Structure 1
Amino acid sequence: MNETAVGPVAPPFESIGSIAVLRGGGLGDLLFAMPAIHALAATYPQARITLLGTPLHAELLAGRPGPVDEVAVLPFAEGVRPGGSGDTAADAQQVQDFLARMREREFDLAVQVHGGGRFSNPFLLELGAKHTVGTRTEDAAELERTIPYHYYQHEVLRALEVAGMAGATTTALSPRIEVTEHDRDEARTALEALARSLPD
């Protein structure tokens, strides 16, 4: 596998045993972040990677081989995971409970590939990780290492630039999710059902 870089690559951090990656949104958002997550896993092979994501991400990645070891489902929080119960106080408490649980993990590195950082950077900082990396607009909180956020930029390349700031070199440009035998079984079942529904 040829290693290269999409942008500048900063020196890797030392003694990284756990990484949190913040990427909410839909399945497409997750796929755009996967090359960066693969790059982080290749650079820090000893690290356990926790994706701070959505229920869809958790469902897709459950039991699936790949760089993500677990998905911690984000609470509803402005600019991080839209929605909520309508009970502002209850939602705020869920955010605080989630952050408290994540702080107990004592992440060595927290990586923000969620957006410009206005809401996501303060959220990331609340994790209390030793090191923080991500994108940043001018009005967003500073992380330890940041790159400017440009809206009209390829999402995969932006995430890979963030990984580069974490010391990770690019291992692949195309998003990929490992296919399991269960996936193949479900595909065969669906195709057989489709074939039976077609006229002779």
Structure 2
Amino acid sequence: MEFFSAYCVKGRHLLEEDIHKQIVVDSLAFMVENKRIWLYGFVILPGEFHLLWQRQPAWELKNLRQMLLKFTAHQIKHRLKAINRRELETYRSPLRDRQFQFWERHADALPVSIAQAAAEKLQQMHEAPVAGGLCRQPEAYRFSSAAFYAQAAIRQEKNETGSFAPVHAGEGQAAAAGHPSPEPALNGLLRHYQQYFPP
């Protein structure tokens, strides 16, 4: 498992618009659906995004980080080209290997080898929107896995054996009253970190 962080170039808020956040969400959904990754957690903030993920076996030797950043940059570029060329020009790069630059070249990737570390990373991700003044409760933020884990916790409490019961698309929402569903494109695609680190 890996904790991956990507940052918008020069600390800019490229992902402030929800439509740009959705581009990241859709890209992750594609990677899950096409069996490239398992996704255990995420948060997308105005100037950065963070993932807790794992490559699936057939993709272990592929540079999925670069694929994700390249594809999302391509999609954002096309959107800005269509609606706001002036803003697009502010991302023009002096580098020879690219016309525009949206992401910092050096992203962070840290291995996560124990369940406690995974839980800590998830907590950090889920609390970041609250700390940034984007919401009052982690579960209220659309672009994170906080609602997924809130639903999972409720299901786990109701499970008499005390073991983890996975949340599937459309399940547990009534039981999780007050907790919104995770972003629809990822509903049913997230995996609980305890599926990687059994309790």
Shorter-chain TM range is under 0.3
Higher-Rg structure is 1
Q: TM-score, normalization: structure 1?
A: 0.26
Q: TM-score, normalization: structure 2?
A: 0.27
* Greater relative contact order (Cα < 8 A, sep 6+): 1
